Structure 1
Amino acid sequence: MLMMSQTDIMTNNMTDSCTEDFKHVDGVMKVLELVFYIPIFVVGLILNIAALVVFCGLLRKKTESTIYMINLALMDLILLLILPFKMHATNHEWPASFHELCSILEGLYFYGIYGSIYIIMCIAVDRWVAICHPFKAKQLRSPRVTMVICVVVWMLVSGSVIPVIWNFRNTKNGTFHCFHQFSAEGWKPPIIISVQVFGFVLPALVVVLCSVQIIWTLQQSGQHSPQSRACVKIIYSGLCAFLVPFTPSHLAIFLQFLVHQGAFQDCGTKANLSLFIQIAMCLSNITCCLDAMCYYFIAHEVRNTRHSFRMSIMSQRRPTNSTSERERGESS
């Protein structure tokens, strides 16, 4: 009969402790995901469908802002429609034959996240051009150019996200939890660095720099018109919709990457980081609801623009009418 060494006993005890820690994390997340996802799914679905109805149907004239909002709502809907599958995968194991379906769902999920990030970045750049460079804006901005930019974003995200996500899933036999247990291929340094730099850091820098310069320009101009106030609200809502959901999730991805690189060895620390990344990814889905602030202010801005356009036409007609009346009086 073989005797177990003290090291073997300690290893088994640590393994049992790690298993218990991660089981506790899984139990907590089964509850939290329902708490987060059900309201996000219901509210986000209503808001984004309403946005598409307004921007596609009620607003006949398509401006640069409305085209961006339509594409942002479509990205949000892709993300929202994956949430029921994500909730089911947390509480149920899927058979091995569902590996390809899982890879497709995971690809669409990250497609919606990074598509939203790049559309918000394009909105910030579009605002920066329109406000900080108004003379160049006439040549650079148009609905047709905006459509081309949105198509490029869809193609760019398709070409970068989906092929990478397809290799995230372990091709082992047996049941598995979709959206969990990514293979070591998905945590390689080149992939994580690319995700952090091109998926978040660079777009975040662009959004923040454009937003700061726009707000500074508006303050320097001293304009306090309804359009300028609406524009400032759009800028702040865009910053909120970008930084609040995506900053914690990408910080969590970086910390989990450090775990895979062996930077953390303690089971409790690993379990806490696992809990943090799962909560952060849950909160990242709130972007589907935060984007509604942009929808509201864009629609409000369009209404104000139409109102000011009507008032300018009326003001142009009044002098013309008064001049013609004076001419009639002089001739008589």
Structure 2
Amino acid sequence: MTSNCSFLAVDDLMKTLELVIYIPIFVFGLILNLIALLVFCLILRKWTESTIYMTSLALMDLLLLFPLPFKMHATTHLWRAHFQPLCSFLECLYFIGIYGSIYTIMCIAVDRWVAICHPFKAKQLRSPKAALGTCIGVWVLVIAVISANMQRFREAGQEEFHCFHRFSEKGWSPVVITCLMLFGFLVPALVLVFCSVKTIWALQQSGQHSQQSKACVKIIYSGLSAFLLPFTPSHLAILLQFLVRQGLIQDCGNQTRISLFIQVAMCLSNITCCLDALCYYFIAHEVRSTKHTIRLSIQRRATFSTSEV
């Protein structure tokens, strides 16, 4: 990055913008995700594939929300060197929440695709145990990858530093950014879009217009929104900042705009915690509708049996 290019104006602007963006996201995200856990664990208490994935997603969102107050503090305050282990821990939690959410939303799309487009295979592939195993696998994978690499991205020996900001050159190496863009965003995004398009097309071709089909379409669209709207701009910004770090973008004006873009995009990516609430609502509605349908069918059978006697 060009040494004589000043980013003080961007940093001053972000001190205000981060508070404006983060405070509502933290408050509403915390409330919505706690309500979701309350509904799925205590009210519905029906462990289907969907509710297991949604519970895991709510936990991922809470993991992402927990470091936000520390992130807001770090924007305006330098941290002393002895806080570096705490900073690495908080950064790990934050990125585990982000990429755990990405992979969980992808798994939800795959689960819907199997259920709708491959109903015969779904009987063998889908089950609450399989969903639980998949969620555990996502947690283990994301925790292992991020915790193994996160501590290497900070320069050692700094007396004061900005947590959540200014990673070392190792954090911006071509290998790291290529893996991040490919496995952290592009592959999950392509899988999500493919499964979503195929599932919606199959529902339209079937000609079914039941409440359950409509709910399924709404779940698919809410999953697409919770993935593409927050994470597409943030990963585009990471790519542009990588080009700056590699010296491919040297104009000071462009560097300043990219610096502002990546900070705003990373802030707004946290809105996924609130957008996921759409998924929670439609899943809860679907589960309640299924319960109601089963209850009605039992009552009808009971009435039919009584009338025969």
Q: What is the percentage of aligned positions where both structures have the same residue?
A: 66
- Cα distance in 2 between the residues matched to 1:319 and 1:173: 78
- Cα distance in 1 between the residues matched to 2:91 and 2:278: 27
Deviation at 1:315, TM superposition (A): 2.5
Q: Give the aligned partner of residue 33 of structure 2.
A: 48
Which of 217, 223, 237 pairs up with 1:252?
237
Which of 115, 118, 125 pairs up with 2:100?
115
Query: Is it true that 1:243 corresponds to 2:228 in the alignment?
Result: yes
- Cα distance in 2 between the residues matched to 1:205 and 1:225: 28
Query: Is it true that 1:314 corresponds to 2:287 in the alignment?
Result: no
Which of 243, 262, 267 pairs up with 2:247?
262
Which of 217, 230, 234 pairs up with 2:202?
217
Query: Is it true that 1:90 corresponds to 2:81 in the alignment?
Result: no
Deviation at 1:161, TM superposition (A): 1.3
Deviation at 1:94, TM superposition (A): 0.5
Q: Give the aligned partner of residue 164 of structure 1.
A: 149
CA deviation string 1:61-119 (max 9, x = no partner):
21110000110000000110110000000010111111121111111111100000000
- Cα distance in 2 between the residues matched to 1:287 and 1:91: 24
| Contact 2:40 2:55 (C-alpha < 8 Å) held by counterparts | yes
User: Which has more radius of gyration?
Assistant: 1
RMSD: 1.1
- Cα distance in 2 between the residues matched to 1:156 and 1:272: 34
- Cα distance in 2 between the residues matched to 1:107 and 1:167: 12
Q: Secondary structure at the match of 2:161?
A: coil
Q: What TM-score do the two structures reach when normalised by structure 1?
A: 0.91
- Cα distance in 1 between the residues matched to 2:164 and 2:27: 21
Q: Give the aligned partner of residue 86 of structure 2.
A: 101
- Cα distance in 2 between the residues matched to 1:106 and 1:259: 23
Matched letter for residue 292 of structure 1: A
Matched letter for residue 156 of structure 1: L
| Contact 2:243 2:249 (C-alpha < 8 Å) held by counterparts | yes
- Cα distance in 2 between the residues matched to 1:127 and 1:115: 18
Q: Give the aligned partner of residue 133 of structure 1.
A: 118
Q: Secondary structure at the match of 2:146?
A: helix
CA deviation string 1:216-236 (max 9, x = no partner):
000011111111100000000
Query: Is it true that 1:294 corresponds to 2:279 in the alignment?
Result: yes
Matched letter for residue 9 of structure 2: H
| Contact 2:71 2:164 (C-alpha < 8 Å) held by counterparts | yes
CA deviation string 1:151-194 (max 9, x = no partner):
11001001111211111111132211111111000001111000
- Bigger drift between 80-89 and 161-170 goes to 161-170
Matched letter for residue 159 of structure 1: A
| Contact 1:99 1:171 (C-alpha < 8 Å) held by counterparts | no
Deviation at 1:15, TM superposition (A): 5.4
Q: Give the aligned partner of residue 144 of structure 1.
A: 129
Aligned length: 308
Runs of 5+ consecutive residues of structure 1 not aligned to the other structure: 1-13, 325-332
